[in-house]
Structure 1
């Protein structure tokens, strides 16, 4: 136990406090640099969006990717600095990481596929943040596009993390106007010409009062026949992501028009009988 008394506890305490102080400074510098970097990135992409007419979704996608790259770089610098504090050679760590990475790389073909696919998703502008897409048999709104995974928020609120290698087909529903489609079933014995004119008039009035409809609505005609019902199809072109709203509005005005028509017939019937 004599060796304990021979230790310079004052120097050990001083070195310990110095090490803790350096660690605190390193972490504080890391968080400050990350905050400043994120602010610079956000301002740069905002300026780019305003001057180069980049879409909001595209700008948001690239901004998130740049922020992630910044975080990875700062973490690497922080780890290197901490290694030097403990007397470890950064070059030796990098070399060791390279050897380990090479060994892992042979078994990480999926990861490489994720990165390559993610790179081309971004390069070819196949999807952007905020787009409504169908990928890997999932529907939803894109929340983030990364080099390894793509995050999609389902309409029920579920957040899906999809490895990019699983994205083989991309169905982007947010590029251009969309189609609203409504099928109306009426009794087989009803007058087709009269009913189609009634529906068309109601839809024309709707198209005049809502800006969500870009073209139509138009009655295509009879879509299907059954033993007791006739199906009439109505289509319209709408602003993107508003096709469901327009479909609900079309159903509403058709129902109101049919109710009014039915009521007018019922009101006229007693008079006809009296005459």
Structure 2
């Protein structure tokens, strides 16, 4: 036993170990460089597509996210193959074994496969893009990323929802075309209640060219009539995509200020009915 130990060439072992570690370091340095350069190339390419108007900036951002995801998975696989090669393993046998194992676990990973396939169809059919305001299932918000397995949606309360693509069976996309701003105002009973409607109509005509992202003159409707003398009004206006919230805020604030100048107070809007959000991607 002692003789076997003394026969170990410690110097050769140290050199071999050092070379092995050096190769590992080189592999991971190359991996880091290729990853950074690859992401940069993908980002530049899709930015150029958007600048040349070959696709919208939101579509470009969506496809850029997907390509980054595919590139990252491919690069990780190549690194694993290279590392296994350092151990002297037969790569062909490894890939054959991986195929068998993959087939065996494929039945248990059908949800993963379903996520990927559904994700490709979502992108192929252009159902959603990064920056779109969507509703799917019980989730509503702005799409931040569309990846191979999941779609990330930022809710209006700031929550980031990770939704498996297979669960996106139906989508309501609110961002295709213009949007509609809606403001409800309850005018309390007062001696001036009959004039409130005319005041609001006059103010809406003035605001048509003053509020950014407003595409037409707001329309004023009487939406209900009760036993009291209160006046219930609904203001409707067409806005640019994803600008409905800022327009609603501006309409409400300016109408409230004008009515206050005329001596008419209106109730405060709740944060849920009157959200202070204006998304930019």
Q: Deviations over 1:16-73 (max 9, x none)?
A: 1111111111111111111111111112112222224311111111111111111111
1:80 match: secondary structure? helix
Looking at structure 2, the residues matched to 17 and 261 of structure 1 have their Cα atoms a distance apart, in angstroms, of 85
Give the direction of change, closer, same or farther, for the CA distance of 1:7–1:262 in structure 2 (3 Å limit).
Answer: closer
- Quote how far apart the aligned CAs of 1:186 are: 2.5
RMSD (Å) for aligned C-alpha atoms: 1.9
Q: Which residue of 1 aligns with 2:276?
A: none
Q: Which residue of 2 aligns with 1:48?
A: 49
Q: Which residue of 2 aligns with 1:72?
A: 73
Counterpart mapping for 1:1-275 below 5 A: 1-187=2-188, 194-220=195-221, 222-228=222-228, 229-262=230-263
Contact 1:203 1:253 in 2 (8 A): no
1:87 match: secondary structure? coil
Q: Which structure dedicates a bigger proportion of its chain to helix?
A: 1
- For structure 1, list consecutive stretches of 5 or more residues without a partner in the other structure: 264-275
Q: Which structure dedicates a bigger proportion of its chain to strand?
A: 1
What TM-score comes out, normalization by structure 1 length? 0.89
Tell me whether 251-260 or 233-242 shows the greater mean CA deviation: 251-260
Give the direction of change, closer, same or farther, for the CA distance of 1:14–1:218 in structure 2 (3 Å limit).
Answer: same
Contact 1:225 1:231 in 2 (8 A): yes
Q: Deviations over 1:134-180 (max 9, x none)?
A: 12311222111012100112222221111011111212222221111
Contact 1:188 1:227 in 2 (8 A): no
Question: Over alpha carbons, which structure has the higher Rg?
Answer: 1
Across the two proteins, how many residue pairs are aligned to each other?
262
